[in-house]
Amino acid sequence: MKLINVKTRKLEEFFDDAIPKYAILSHTWEHEEVSLQDLQDLRRAERMKGYAKIDETCLHAERHKLDYAWVDTCCIDKTSSAELSESINSMYQYYKRATVCYVYLTDTRQQRQHRADFAQKLEPYLAECRWFTRGWTLQELLAPSVIQFYNREWGFLGSKDELVDPLSRITGISRDILLGRRHVWQNPVAMRMSWAASRKTTRSEDMAYCLLGIFDINMPMLYGEGSKAFRRLQEEICKKDCDTSIFACDSLASTRSDQFDLFAYSPAEFSGHGKATAWISRDGSSTTMTARGPRLTARNLFLVEVPGDTDRQKPNAPYADGVLRKAIVPKEIKLPHRDNGGTIRYVLRLDIGISTHDCGIFLEKIQTDLLRRDRNLPLALLPRGTRYEAEYQPEFTILDGRPAFHRPDSMHLGKDESFHIPFDGRVSITRIVPRPSWDFCRRLLFAPHVLAQIQAFQLEVRLGSTSASLWLLFD
């Protein structure tokens, strides 16, 4: 780690346990920022516009009896891809390890007022600062334990502790998280994504890279991959964490171009989860990544009826904002002998919700153990206490991305090798072996994956007063 000696203004390098205490700067980049190469020639660097904040950072560090300071513009050799990648992956820890973080708000001249409600008076001026709109500054707000805010003239505005209420309202992050009473990593994935929903980065890849520390993820930097970086981040999160709230993104977002995509295109699709609640699954379920998408084990899928456009019930619940504002409450299905007369879907309950409802996504079964998200439907909100019909699934994969093989109609994926039993009030299905091969929504029995396997139906057929039990074998 390269640090600026605050007395000599020269860079020194330290490793691991030998890293001394230091101050760190958080700011938004402007013209004529001083690079590592510029700082080698101090006289030239002093003539650059960006040197003033480096100088002030060093002066403030000295006042806090610190010998070193870190500034991202000049403490990283950006000509070295290896050093840049290491620094980006370590950035959260750089800010967390700092003794004090100075936030320099270059677009406000507002001064601290000596009055009890000074924080409230500062709020509208803080809210207009560009610093609160940038992707990189999110982790710079969350990681340090001590933060001091300064205006354009380096006038002290207040500490994070003093300004926590306006900071919470501006960012949508709770006081407990901002004050470190609740660790960032203890919050659902969707909630953490929502903190970045309105933030921007200059390069599209950085929208993923700036969140690495918030999800405790390390991954290589591949500038040029564009939006694939954010997909890669979500895949890495799935490998590390079985928190299914990562799927609670906006399926109806206008940016979507592929109906097979499971993951979000940007953090904006998680807007509205900032005040969510989480429930922790303790049933031994897990999530792993495969080439086709995430594979989940030991999960219940709920069978529900999707209400029509004129019959859709919106949740009467607080905090139903953003993506949750579009969510609908599915109906309980009527089993076993009645035709519901509507669209039947599976719902996967996610590890997130609001005070009165659990969040879920609508799924369609396209093979025995392969499902895909129904992109024509928003999120589902399941009222707590409602007993939806459940189908236990030992394991299944949720398809992410268009399949490598071509199918002219995605709805027929897997349908070519299946057996359809239309609804008939005289016929009831009393047993299916193996159960996961049955798609209740479309009343399809999928063909076995292996030639040695046999599927079986047990049917109860009633004709007038006569009934008979039949077995139907399918190989």
Strand order across the beta sheet in which 427-433 lies:
427-433, 455-463, 466-474
pLDDT at 53: 97
One-letter amino acid of 324: L
Per-residue model confidence as pLDDT tens digits over 267-287:
999 999 998 887 666 566 788
Q: Across the chain, how many H-helices and E-strands are there? A: 11, 21
Cβ(383)–Cβ(295) below 8 Å: no
Strands of 7-155 (E only): list them.
11-13, 23-26, 68-70, 100-104, 147-150
Instruction: Indicate if the pLDDT at residue 408 is higher than 50.
Output: no
pLDDT at 405: 47
User: d(Cα 243, Cα 96) in Å, to the nearest integer?
Assistant: 24
pLDDT at 412: 45
pLDDT at 416: 56
Could you tell me the two tokens for 469? 């039990």
CA dihedral 23, 150, 47, 74 (to 10 degrees): 30
Q: Which of 107, 187, 170, 178 is nearest to 139 (CA)?
A: 178
Residue 410: band (very low, low, confident or very high) from pLDDT cuts 50, 70, 90 = very low
Instruction: Indicate if the pLDDT at residue 228 is higher than 70.
Output: yes
Q: Other CB atoms closer than 10 Å to residue 53's CB: what's the count?
A: 21
Q: Which of 116, 136, 17 is nearest to 76 (CA)?
A: 136
DSSP letter string, 392-441: EEEEEEE--S--SS--S-GGGTTGGGEEE----TTEEEEEEESGGGEETT
Instruction: Indicate if the pLDDT at residue 352 is higher than 60.
Output: yes
Residue 337: band (very low, low, confident or very high) from pLDDT cuts 50, 70, 90 = very low
**353/447: higher pLDDT:** 353
Find the DSSP H helices in 210-332: 228-240
pLDDT at 257: 57
Please identify which residue in the block is written with the tokens 């969707």: 190
Q: Which helix (H) or strand (E) holds 237?
A: helix 228-240
Q: Which of 116, 214, 101, 106 is nearest to 159 (CA)?
A: 101
Cβ(474)–Cβ(457) below 8 Å: yes
Per-residue model confidence as pLDDT tens digits over 177-218:
999 999 999 999 999 999 999 999 999 999 999 999 999 999
pLDDT at 411: 42
Please identify which residue in the block is written with the tokens 């992109």: 375
CA dihedral 7, 52, 15, 102 (to 10 degrees): 100
Mean pLDDT over all residues of the chain? 87
Cβ(319)–Cβ(354) below 8 Å: yes
Q: Which DSSP symbol is given to 315?
A: P
pTM listed for this prediction = 0.89
Residue 354 contacts by C-beta under 8 Å, 6 or more apart in sequence?
A: 275, 276, 277, 315, 317, 318, 319, 320, 324, 381
Instruction: Indicate if the pLDDT at residue 134 is higher than 60.
Output: yes
SS (H, E, C) 139-176: HHHHCCCCEEEECCCCCEEEECCCCHHHHHHHHCCCHH
User: d(Cα 166, Cα 127) in Å, to the nearest integer?
Assistant: 8
Per-residue model confidence as pLDDT tens digits over 2-54:
999 999 999 999 999 999 999 999 999 999 999 999 999 999 999 999 999 99
Q: At what angle do helices 118-127 and 164-171 cross, to 10 degrees?
A: 30
User: d(Cα 78, Cα 87) in Å, to the nearest integer?
Assistant: 10
**158/459: higher pLDDT:** 158
Could you tell me the two tokens for 300? 């219940």
Q: Which of 361, 365, 398 is nearest to 380 (CA)?
A: 361
Q: Other CB atoms closer than 10 Å to residue 112's CB: what's the count?
A: 18
User: d(Cα 45, Cα 39) in Å, to the nearest integer?
Assistant: 6
Could you tell me the two tokens for 239? 């490998």
Give percent of the chain above pLDDT 70: 86
